[in-house]
């Protein structure tokens, strides 16, 4: 699935590496209350939740940002041929390289690879197999690695506690060893157009990246929001939030900042159209999917279409 959006002078292509109803709701969200899901059925069914099989949808989104002459990937999905503990992510064999090339992000074109955090489903295409070795997929790119996440995941993996099949060693360390990594801290400007903001909790060093262009504002939100249900229940952490006591206040502050601000929010795991806006709704919030034509492919749509500025 490929869609393209215009954000001021910048253009973003959303490339869905994988999409499907896979998560058992109360396993992903220990606080799950199915009454909340059922109340949102008209918005969620077939997009964010498949009631017949009672599974929440997850998509793996790779955002490709064309901005001021740069070609920037924001998070790189699961990748091909990676050994992973989760069966649906194990040894994928997609044609993502062809999709990336169609979107103007072939290996020699990508100038920057930006990571929100270092979970295995966000770093996969950092590397690809060359014989027996994992080598950088984008040899001309600068890879922007969240500094605090790198420190935490390095210690976590070297101590042997990681259960994801070694994504740190096959998808992060080869970048550092190749001399392509640049470490990012909150407040840094990245790839000439993105401002890094702390979004700790889901992982200890997760960052959001804010883009301002042509009077428009967008934020690449990583996994501050894993599923749109968290817009309606911000206190619900996922089982994969590493620091739940930090993740929930981070999510609350994020929603407060973006609500009714006209900011396009681009998370990594939402069902189509994969991005949208947060509205205030009574004491809480609601999700408004991005506008524009569905199935637009590579022709850039206006996500603000149909939405008040
Ligand atoms: Zn994720």
Residue 132 CA to ligand 1 center (angstroms) comes to: 27
98-155 pLDDT, tens digit per residue, is: 999 999 999 999 999 999 999 999 999 999 999 999 999 999 999 999 999 999 999 9
The boundaries of the domain holding residue 246 are: 2-289
Residue 77 CA to ligand 1 center (angstroms) comes to: 8
Say which CATH number the domain at 186 has: 3.60.15.10
Residue 122 CA to ligand 1 center (angstroms) comes to: 6
Question: What one-character DSSP code corresponds to residue 107?
Answer: T
Residue 121 CA to ligand 1 center (angstroms) comes to: 5
CA distances from 93 to 13, 18, 104, 129, 306 (A): 21, 11, 21, 12, 37
Instruction: Say if 69 falls within a structural domain.
Output: yes
Which alpha helices (H) appear in the chain, and where do they start and end?
25-28, 34-39, 41-44, 96-102, 147-158, 167, 173-177, 229-232, 244-258
pLDDT score of 163: 74
Instruction: Say if 31 falls within a structural domain.
Output: yes
201-223 pLDDT, tens digit per residue, is: 999 999 999 999 999 999 999 99
Instruction: Say if 147 falls within a structural domain.
Output: yes
Residue 225 CA to ligand 1 center (angstroms) comes to: 9
CA distance 226 to 269: 6
Residue 226 CA to ligand 1 center (angstroms) comes to: 7
The set of residues, in sequence order, having a beta carbon less than 8 Å from that of 41 and lying 6+ positions away, is 49, 51
Instruction: Say if 102 falls within a structural domain.
Output: yes
Residue 18 CA to ligand 1 center (angstroms) comes to: 12
CA distance 48 to 58: 8
| Residue 166 · residue 90 · CB < 8 Å | no
| Residue 62 · residue 125 · CB < 8 Å | yes
Residue 78 CA to ligand 1 center (angstroms) comes to: 9
| Residue 273 · residue 66 · CB < 8 Å | no
CA distances from 280 to 44, 216, 231, 253 (A): 18, 20, 10, 13
Instruction: Say if 62 falls within a structural domain.
Output: yes
CA distance 168 to 83: 12
Q: How many domains does the chain have?
A: 1
Residue 19 CA to ligand 1 center (angstroms) comes to: 13
Residue 271 CA to ligand 1 center (angstroms) comes to: 13
Instruction: Say if 284 falls within a structural domain.
Output: yes
Residue 120 CA to ligand 1 center (angstroms) comes to: 8
pLDDT score of 308: 65
| Residue 13 · residue 23 · CB < 8 Å | no
Instruction: Say if 270 falls within a structural domain.
Output: yes
161-184 pLDDT, tens digit per residue, is: 877 668 999 999 999 999 999 999
Instruction: Say if 305 falls within a structural domain.
Output: no
Residue 203 CA to ligand 1 center (angstroms) comes to: 10
């Amino acid at each position: 699935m490929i869609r393209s959006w215009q954000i001021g002078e910048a253009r973003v292509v959303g490339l869905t590496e994988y999409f499907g109803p896979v998560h058992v709701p109360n396993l992903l969200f220990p606080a799950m209350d199915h009454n909340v899901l059922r109340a949102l059925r008209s918005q969620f069914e077939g997009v964010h939740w498949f009631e017949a099989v009672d599974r929440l949808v997850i998509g793996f989104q790779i955002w490709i940002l064309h901005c001021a002459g740069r070609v920037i990937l924001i998070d790189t999905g699961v990748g091909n041929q990676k050994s992973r503990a989760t069966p649906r992510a194990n040894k994928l064999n997609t044609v993502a390289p062809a999709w990336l090339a169609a979107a103007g992000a072939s290996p020699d074109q990508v100038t920057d690879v930006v990571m929100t955090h270092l979970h295995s489903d966000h770093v996969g295409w950092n590397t690809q197999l060359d014989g027996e070795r994992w080598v950088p997929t984008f040899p001309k790119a600068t890879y922007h690695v969240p500094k605090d996440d790198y420190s935490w995941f390095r210690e976590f993996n070297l101590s042997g506690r990681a259960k994801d099949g070694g994504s740190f060693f096959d998808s992060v360390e080869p970048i550092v060893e190749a001399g392509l990594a640049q470490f990012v801290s909150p407040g840094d400007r990245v790839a000439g157009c993105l401002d890094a903001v702390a979004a700790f909790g889901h992982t200890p060093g997760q960052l959001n990246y804010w883009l301002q262009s042509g009077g428009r504002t967008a934020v690449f939100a990583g996994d501050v929001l894993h599923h749109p249900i968290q817009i309606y229940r911000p206190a619900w952490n996922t089982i994969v939030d590493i620091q739940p006591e930090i993740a929930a206040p981070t999510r609350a502050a994020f929603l407060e900042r973006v609500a009714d601000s006209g900011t396009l929010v681009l998370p990594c795991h939402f069902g189509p159209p994969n991005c949208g806006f947060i509205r205030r709704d009574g004491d809480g919030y609601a999700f408004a999917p991005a506008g524009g034509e569905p199935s637009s492919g590579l022709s850039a749509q206006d996500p603000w279409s149909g939405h008040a500025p």
